[in-house]
Amino acid sequence: MSPSIGVTHVPSEGPDNATAFFVGEAPGGEEAARGSPFIGRAGDLLIRYLDRNGANRNSVYLSNLCRYRPPRNKFEALLDTPQLEEGLAELQREIEHVNPNCIIALGSWPLYLLTGMSGKKAGTGILKWRGSRLTSLPRWGSRKVFASMHPSFVLRVWDMNPVFNLDIKHALEDAEYPELRAPKYESHIDPPPDELYDLVHEALDADYISLDIETFPGGRFSCIGFAYRRRDGTDCGVCITLDRPDLTRYVKEIWESDTPKIFQYGTYDTAFMRYFYNWRIGGYYDGMGHDTYVAAASLLPDYPRNLGFLCSIYTRFPYYKEERKLWKEEDDMTSLWEYNIKDIVGTMHVAYAQMGEIGELYE
């Protein structure tokens, strides 16, 4: 006989005015035995990081998608069951009643059922989406959702503890207001030459210029992007595509200028452009530039250095790295140009955050 779903209903806990609303999957064995969510080793880990970041168990709302323990603690066994539907209905009523500023989805299934986001299949992808601020599905009132790992996963993958702690810190900060506050920036794709001339010379006057290329096989670049921050604080991104080779001379002026450059693993971009196009980078290898990949090796030596992870740590950009593939699926290169701009602006945000951390090390 296969194991059955538990019969003990484990209710949610928390104040009616909580601004942070945590949602896990379902109760475990100890939670079912004691009738309380997020207790035992996994719950203790969550409460530890709540305490460390200025909150506590009594100041947040703790809930689950389902209120009954699944067989062998496998959430998939709850799919398409009355117990899960009952739990989701309870959760909907609780969210409407509490009206939190931020819902924290702990794990892949809360992420999927609250936002519709996942990896290649439902119930996967939390390591890609963690750290992202998203909008919930209409059923939940189109509210702000912060994605993170479930503490039980962190117990199994202990190296993720510092990342989980940082996620809880960011989630609690986001619980102070209901807005997404997504990054805003100007986007220009193949602007007219007179407009591009102004953008280039505005960029040359900036403190830093972020650069990135997207390449095709055979030594071809599909686009070159540059981003900079204006003196009034506005971020601006420009993408020059393979469709407009007449405009690349403007970008070459930026590439070879002495204005300090920002790259994510610029060794590839600079070597590619020098080998195939004889462009020589300025303001990068002379000690003036900043490489987010290299800086991450010093600031976060035990963690990934890819831009997706760095954006999840240092910026408010939700996960977007798979957007690079959309142009093939949609047969529309515009999505690649837009991705390039998001990449260079995201890299710039990471770089400025890293510079601040490096500066603190020498204070």
**Boundary (domain end) residue, out of 143, 174, 205:** 174
Across the chain, mean pLDDT equals 95
Tell me the per-residue pLDDT of 258-269, one tens digit each, with 9 for 90 and over: 999 999 999 999
For the segment 296-312, the average pLDDT, to the nearest whole number, is: 95
pLDDT tens digits for 135-192? 999 999 999 999 999 999 999 999 999 999 999 999 999 999 999 999 999 999 999 9
Residues 117 and 252 placed together within one structural domain of the fold: no
Strand-pairing partners, residue 239, are: 189, 225
Are residues 145 and 24 located together in one domain of the fold?
Answer: yes
Residues 111 and 257 in one domain: no
- Please indicate, yes or no, whether residues 162 and 205 belong to a single structural domain of this protein: no
Which pLDDT score is estimated for 1? 38
User: How far is residue 342's CA from residue 336's CA, in Å, rounded to a whole number?
Assistant: 10
Residue 294 pLDDT > 80, yes or no? yes
Q: How far apart are the C-alpha atoms of 106 and 129, rounded to whole Å?
A: 11
Identify the domain boundary among 174, 203, 231: 174
Q: Show which of 174, 202, 218 is a domain's final residue.
A: 174
The CA-atom distances, in angstroms, between 341 and each of 140, 225, 228, 311, 337 are: 31, 6, 11, 14, 7
- Report yes or no on 32 lying in a domain: yes
Tell me: do 250 and 169 sit in the same domain: no
The arithmetic mean of pLDDT across residues 64-93, rounded, is: 96
Cβ–Cβ < 8 Å for 237, 225: yes
| Residue 229 and residue 299 in one domain | yes
Task: Tell me the two tokens of residue 208.
Answer: 């830093």
DSSP 166: H
What is the DSSP secondary-structure string of 40-97? HHHHHHHHHHHHHTT--TTTSEEEES-SSPPGGG-GGGGTT-HHHHHHHHHHHHHHHH
Q: Is residue 179 part of a domain?
A: no
Helix (H) or strand (E) holding 271: helix 266-277
Residue 108 φ then ψ, to 5°: -70, -40
- Do 63 and 158 reside in the same domain of the chain? yes
* Section 128-139 average pLDDT: 98
**pLDDT of amino acid 271:** 96
Sheet holding 235-241, edge to edge: 186-189, 235-241, 220-229, 209-216, 261-263, 290-291
Domains in the chain, number: 2
Q: What percent of the chain has pLDDT over 70?
A: 99
CA distances from 110 to 89, 144, 192, 233, 297 (A): 14, 13, 46, 36, 32
272 in a structural domain: yes
13 is a domain residue: no
Q: Are residues 102 and 222 in the same domain?
A: no
Indicate which CATH number applies to the domain containing 232: 3.30.420.10
Is there a single domain that holds both residue 169 and residue 191? no
Which residues are within 8 A (CB) of 161 and not within 5 positions of it... i.e. 6 or more apart?
154
**Predicted pLDDT at 78:** 96
In a domain, 44, yes or no: yes
Is residue 10 a part of any domain in this protein?
Answer: no
DSSP 113-160: HHHS--SSSTT--HHHHTT-EEE--GGGTS-EEEEE--HHHHHHSGGG
**HSE-CB of 220 using CA atoms within 13 angstroms:** 8
**Cα–Cα distance, 194 to 148 (Å, whole number):** 45
Q: What is the pLDDT of residue 218?
A: 83
DSSP symbols for 217-246: TTTEEEEEEEEEE-TTS-EEEEEEETT-GG
Domain that holds residue 320: 186-361
Same domain (yes/no): 97, 52: yes
Judge whether 11 lies within some domain: no
CATH code, domain carrying 100: 3.40.470.10
pLDDT of residue 65: 98
Q: Is residue 80 part of a domain?
A: yes
For the entire predicted model, the pTM comes to 0.95
- Do 151 and 281 belong together in one domain? no
pLDDT on residue 2: 55
Query: Do residue 191 and residue 245 come from a single domain?
Result: yes
Report the pLDDT value the prediction gives residue 332, as an integer from 0 to 100: 87
CA atoms within 13 A on the CB side of 134: 29
